[in-house]
Amino acid sequence: MSALPRAHELGLIACHVCGLVCREPNFSPAACPRCGSGLRRRKTASFMRTWALLIAAFILYIPANVLPIMRTVNVGDVDDNTIISGVVELWMQGSPSLALIVFAASIVVPVLKFFVLALLLVSTRRDSDWAMHQRAALYRLVDLIGYWSMLDVFVVALLTALVRFDVLSRVEPLPGVVFFGLTVILTMFASMSFDPRLLWDARKNHD
């Protein structure tokens, strides 16, 4: 059974912003008729930008876990919490479900994004045709759940605002939450910079 024709063989090109499939223009640069974004077959310098953003995010993720993200002051008792110590404290205080949610959003999701994006970059650079459908599904999963990593930042911001109304207690954000927020933002940009269409170029190279 012969392979299905590729988009460029049919003279088609998809907008990378809104997804509209257009007839490939005879001139360059061309704009999408729906959203006005530039039409191009592949994102410019996708590999280099994704690697740069991913490495920068990984570097920032180290102080995000080492430095405390939140300080709790309660009747003179000062307690600084990192991400891990905050999860442990939630568990010990009888909130295992909340501890698991914070652990998943702050530890599991970022590590998953690092691993999956690195796997996609390495395998795509090597023109591997291994598990192409599964790798495409992994990319969609990472792109979908990436925003949930900001849960830790939202929790700290919410506690800081709410506890200010308590005379005897207060919560203060610490530098760790800034590094964590930057890590999440950079991994989101890395996911957006990666062009998943590159996954399918390996099929063309192995035909």
Distance set, CA 10 to CA 13, 30, 97, 202 (Å): 9, 18, 51, 19
- What is the helix (H) or strand (E) element at residue 22, kind and residue range? strand 21-23
> Does the pLDDT at position 190 exceed 60?
yes
- What are residue 169's DSSP bridge partners? 74
Phi then psi dihedrals of residue 30, to 5 deg = -125, 155
pLDDT in tens, 169-189: 666 778 888 898 899 889 889
Residues of CATH 1.20.140 domain(s) within the chain? 43-206
Half-sphere exposure of 32 (CA within 13 A, CB side): 17
**What is the DSSP code (8-state) at residue 10?**
G
pLDDT in tens, 48-95: 999 999 999 999 999 988 998 877 777 667 777 888 887 887 788 777
Give the per-residue pLDDT at 1: 41
Give the per-residue pLDDT at 19: 77
Highest CATH level, class, for 43-206? mainly alpha
pLDDT in tens, 105-153: 888 888 888 998 999 888 888 877 777 788 888 888 888 876 666 666 6
